Chains A and B, each alone.
Chain A
Amino acid sequence: MNEAPSELLIFRVDCRIYCAAVSDVRRIGPTRSGGEATVACSPLGQPCTRRRGIVVDCGDAGERTLVVDEVLGVRRVPAADLRPVPAFAAACLHAGTVAGFAMLGDEPTVLVDLRALVGGTDT
């Protein structure tokens, strides 16, 4: 992780909880059906209810919306509760979508690089 985010957006896709740096999120809103810049299916899984959309600024590619089931809120996470991707896992993951982990409870929660995720995913 180049920069340890302190404010994380917590969201759910299907039954799994993820988090992402708030600084990567432009806004949160309802999903647009059939929108060209909507990412409905990603490596995070297939959302069931598709209730919310996380809008991400992808630079020249414009805005893209990651469809999720639920946005659970924002948490300020101390740097001590952030973990890098272990070396072996990093060597096996090449999509760049996993930026690290946040210890939000007993289990590590995947810290998603939203720009890498929606920028490299077909709509």
Chain B
Amino acid sequence: MRTWAPCPLDAARAILRGMESSEGVAGAPGVVSEPVRDGGADTCLFGLRILGGRYAFAASLVTEVVRLGPITRLPAAPSFLRGVFTHRGEVVPVLDIASLVGKAPVVTGPSTRTAIVRSGPWHLAIVADAVDGLVDIVNLEPPLADGGGISAFLAAVGRDSLGSIAVIDLPRLIEAARKRSVPA
């Protein structure tokens, strides 16, 4: 089992600052598209629900929230790469965080919404059970030490008016997904 130590609070905040890219948030209006506004806060986070819990990541990574269209599966793709769909004529890959951490894949349907994110060179959609949108989290703390799974990608934990929420270091998670695909 992977040993993992909690990061100090300052380190968690630094990670959050680093997670907010210079891309900013954008998104032209569309029928099913919901451009994400920039809250401007140091720790402006975007919330979604997966794995039976509430998670968030840097809102500045999110370019749009859209309804997930029909997914085209890709041959010989890892399970966490659910396939691709088209948005504004562009083919966008769909990442399933639940599958990545070894859990049951997110069940998608016609009403499923997805957050399109841009992290470094990668442009992809994150599929989730539900999308909460922007969340205001107070009292950010380092995550507890835990084993593998999603906890390996947590940067901090905090609370909002609905309860506890865990903050994912999304760029690190995406990079881990990419590296996991590289054949040995």
Residues of chain A touching chain B, judged by Cβ–Cβ distance below 8 Å, are 16, 42-45, 83-89, 91-95, 97-98, 101, 103, 106-110, 112, 117
Contacts and interface: CB of A to CB of B under 8 A. Distances in A.
Interface of B: 69-70, 72-78, 81, 84-86, 89-93, 95, 121-124, 174, 177-178, 181-183
Nearest to A100: B91
B178 A88 contact: yes
Given A97-B76, A107-B72, A110-B74, 14 more contacts: A44-B75, A85-B91, A86-B93, A87-B122, A88-B122, A89-B77, A89-B81, A91-B178, A95-B75, A101-B91, A106-B70, A108-B85, A108-B91, A110-B75
Contacts of A95: 75-76
Nearest to A92: B181
B183 A94 contact: yes
B84 A86 contact: yes
Contacts of B74: 89, 93, 98, 110
Contacts of A107: 69-70, 72, 85-86
Q: Chain B's interface: helix, strand, loop or mixed, by majority? A: mixed
Contacts of B123: 86-88
A85 B124 CA distance: 12
Contact of A88 (B72, B124, B183): B124
Contacts of A108: 72, 84-86, 91
23 contacts: A16-B73, A43-B75, A43-B76, A84-B91, A86-B91, A86-B93, A87-B121, A88-B95, A88-B122, A88-B178, A91-B122, A91-B181, A92-B77, A92-B93, A92-B177, A93-B181, A95-B75, A97-B76, A98-B75, A101-B84, A107-B85, A108-B85, A108-B86
A108 B95 CA distance: 17
A93 B91 contact: no
A44 B75 CA distance: 5
B84 to A, nearest CB: 6
3 shortest A-B CB distances, which residue pairs? Answer: A43-B75, A43-B76, A92-B181
Given A106-B69, A107-B70, A107-B85, A42 B75 contact: yes
A95 B178 CA distance: 14
Chain A CB within 10 Å, residue with most, of B74, B77, B86, B95: B74
A45 B73 CA distance: 11
Contact of A94 (B72, B93, B122, B181): B181
